[in-house]
Chains A and B, each alone.
Chain A
Amino acid sequence: MDERQFGAEITEVPEEIRLRLSGDLNGRADEALASAYAQVAALGPRRVSLDFAHVGYINSTGIALVVRLLAQARRDGRAVRAIGLTEHYREIFRITRLSDFMEIVEGDAA
């Protein structure tokens, strides 16, 4: 199978915590993403940036995982933004209206 192992690495930058995601964002990323967000939440940042620059594939289950993370972050009073999405996935975030609830940053964010 050609699937790429999902990974989530936490980096702290001023004002936010960045989750550098890699691999395929699908149903199998469930635990890794939930666990990464739990670690982020414990650090209490005001904003979480999801860095998709190293994610090559996102399917509908992966979108559902982002929705779940976003819902949780909103409950926690935390902003979420997405960086490094390809044009195709930015389109998907627009169509699903995820972009109405999280900032979508084109290219690499500062």
Chain B
Amino acid sequence: MKIIFLLIGISLIVALGFLMAFLWAVKSGQYEDEYTPSVRILFDQQTKNTTDD
């Protein structure tokens, strides 16, 4: 059961990795605007081709 130390250790490292990712995201402006991207993804790409359905 001593393997659990290793497992806990790894899980903590993974969790730390996610924390780092979060901090980097905040720093690079991910949370500057929380509303506009939600609207932006709903815009259609204007293509000249006709769609199948």
Q: Do these two chains interact?
A: no
